[in-house]
Amino acid sequence: MTRKAVLAVLLFSALGLLLAGVVILPQASEPPPSSHPLASLTGARTRVVWCRQVVGNNDDPLALKDGFILMGLDTHDGRGDRALLKQPRNTYRPMLTPDGERVLFTDRKAGKVFVMDWGADAARPVIDGLGLDAWRDPDTGVVWLYYLTNVKHDSTTDGNPVMRCRLDDVGQQELVWDQSPVTSDNFQVSADGKRVGGLFPWRKAGLAELPNGSFQHTGKGCWTSTAPDNSYMMWIFDGAHKNFLIKPPGALFTRKVRLNTAPGTEGHEVYHPRWSNHVRIMAMTGPYRIMAEYNAIHGGGGGINVYVGRFSEAFNRIEAWAQVTDSDEADFFPDVWVDQGQLARASVPVDAAEKPPSQSTHIWPASQEGLVYIWENSKRDNQVNDPTNSLRRECKLAQRKLATFGSGYEAELTGGALRSEDVEAAVAAACGETGAFALELVIYPIQKPRPERGVLLVYGKNMDESNLQLVEKQGELFLRVRTSERAYSDDNDIHLMRIPHNRHTHLVVSYRAGELNWYVNGEPALSSGEVQGDLTPWRAYPLVLGQAPDGTRDWPGSVEGLAVYRRVLGPEEVAAHFQYVQQKLTRRTPPPRSVISGTLIEISPTPTPESIAPYRGSLVEYVYKVDEVMEGSLGEDEIIVQHWGILDSQVLPRTRILGQRYTLIVEPVGDHPELEGERVSSSVSDVTLEPYLDVGWKNAQP
């Protein structure tokens, strides 16, 4: 290409970015032009760093071991990709400083962050810890290194707290975040330093205010990344490791951006997605073709290369790609710096379809007073104030057996349960101290043959040793509560109501000595003085929804909006809570459902629980030819159907045979936001087919 042609290409690229609302200014001393495809993509001088595995079998994509060469590329030096450090070592998570002149990486074996100048041949230690991000203060010009301490060196790489130090004076250190563990992939600070997107920890994605401020739980997934400007956009990498869901400010995670469209990835899995210092430029690695016990990421393999992509102006797709490396070995953890990229800004309007529903005029709970436990749904940041200190305590419910979540993030308990973690003592002590409690929840029972006793909720070690129970007997709901004056037996069960099936019901039971009140859908339904005594006998037992603590006595249905208070709730407060629930459920739109008869034509292997760790569940993709649409409207001739293959780290039996016809109840995966971040195991050949979720599997044959 002639010099004039090169200049024309660069001018055209820069003009395109300018028209898109992104401004790139030249340096004071313009470097010589480059014909490198990456420079054409970015419109400016660009540097990339990554680590290349040269020892072993290219099977360490998390860079846990030694055997890596620190690699780099400068589009304008004419040297191509080259080794920055020639001796193999651990070079985890290499990063470029905001001016592109220095490279940071972590030696996990040494537990230290190192730095080297671009063009130097040696690195020097900076500080103990694991490097996360390098940020330049726009007011002072000081470069700060954000790093993780007390690191758990496993596949998730969590640690706490996050600190920062001046890169030129490590003696100046500051606390950044200590409210929760943080996962290293990816913790990236906005241009103004006021926000950071990340995992708090793994799978709990969110945007935090710095330093140590509020936290907004935005979704579930892995490999988050945050826009380098001040738009506060972030993405969540999906469980299929082929896309991410991007979230403009004020919008929902509805923009799915496919990543395995880069030339050479051939629809396979990709990894290590990371935003550059330019808001429209990102990097990743791929393709991952080798299955390591059905997990392509951990299979690694040769020929894994670095790709750099450019977002469209609307940030809804990658409009162009450049393949940076072409190696027989494996390249991991790329980071990209674009000259003057920090000046680029995104102006992203929130599409009407993406705007969240108008906020309710009511809040839930109406008051945080006395709140000791809350679990609204799997999306909410379910936290309460801890009266013993100034921290917030997270209320976790772990999935057991066949428990899943619905499109409204509610817990679907048929065949499974949710079980509390680390809160049992706090709840028992708080209610025992006041002698009062209130329990609130929203239920949706499924009409089907019932067991003799289905356990909706039990706060107990077992059914004979518990503080509180809600059980269903042949459609009737009963309460059992332990007090200092009440024997705990079947004879003392309190009949509350007959449960309406296949519809939502808001329930509240409120108690203090001699005063038991029961509310249904905001209205008083029962008031009794027969229960006496305080709650001093309450003990630190697990809270279990959907089954007995031993996994028996299944209760088929869904639950959400769970709260426990150390005080009673009055009628006005209960009525306000019901209004909130009404508004929320009215806004909820069920996904479109179809019932089809389909011939199974392709099966993806089900992974082992060990191969997907730390995930505890995995969807598995099958392909069906649509023979007949019996209900609903489905226009495709062939579809991908995602079946649950693993739940609660247990493989689900599935004996379907290629060529056989099956009846399926399916809904579009795109209408199931609760699946964001779930692991998806797939070897289907046509990745362009529309994916659907099997929602009738609990009532169908394997």
Cβ atoms of 482 and 468 closer than 8 Å:
yes
**Cα separation values, 344 from 140, 228, 237, 249, Å:** 20, 9, 23, 17
Segment 428-479, tens digit of pLDDT: 999 999 999 999 999 999 876 565 789 999 999 999 899 999 999 988 999 9
**DSSP string spanning 245-256?**
EEE-TTS-S-EE
Segment 149-167, tens digit of pLDDT: 998 877 678 899 999 999 9
pLDDT of residue 203: 85
Rounded CA-CA distance 514/579 in Å is: 28
Instruction: Indicate if the pLDDT at residue 5 is higher than 50.
Output: no
pLDDT of residue 599: 98
Rounded CA-CA distance 331/4 in Å is: 34
Kindly list the strands in the beta sheet with 215-226, ordered across the sheet, starting from the edge strand earlier in the chain: 158-159, 182-189, 195-199, 203-209, 215-226, 234-237, 243-247, 255-258
Element (H, E) at 165: strand 162-166
Q: Is the whole-model pTM more than 0.75? A: no
Write phi, then psi, for 556 (nearest 5 degrees). Answer: -80, 120
Instruction: Indicate if the pLDDT at residue 16 is higher than 60.
Output: no
Q: What is the mean pLDDT of the chain?
A: 88
Rounded CA-CA distance 691/69 in Å is: 39
Mean pLDDT of 601-610: 92
Bridge partner list, 355: none
Instruction: Indicate if the pLDDT at residue 45 is higher than 90.
Output: yes
Q: What are the structural domains, with CATH classification, of the chain?
A: 3-148+231-352 (no CATH), 371-587 (2.60.120.200), 594-699 (2.40.50)
Cβ atoms of 600 and 656 closer than 8 Å:
yes
Write phi, then psi, for 617 (nearest 5 degrees). Answer: -145, 160
- Within a 10 A sphere around the Cβ of 263, how many other Cβ atoms? 9
pLDDT of residue 450: 63
Rounded CA-CA distance 606/316 in Å is: 31
Cβ atoms of 323 and 264 closer than 8 Å:
yes
End-to-end CA distance of the chain: 60
Mean pLDDT of 406-419: 95
Mean pLDDT of 498-510: 94
Mean pLDDT of 64-76: 95
Q: In terms of Cα–Cα distance, which of 369, 286, 271, 361 is closest to 323?
A: 286
Rounded CA-CA distance 234/245 in Å is: 9
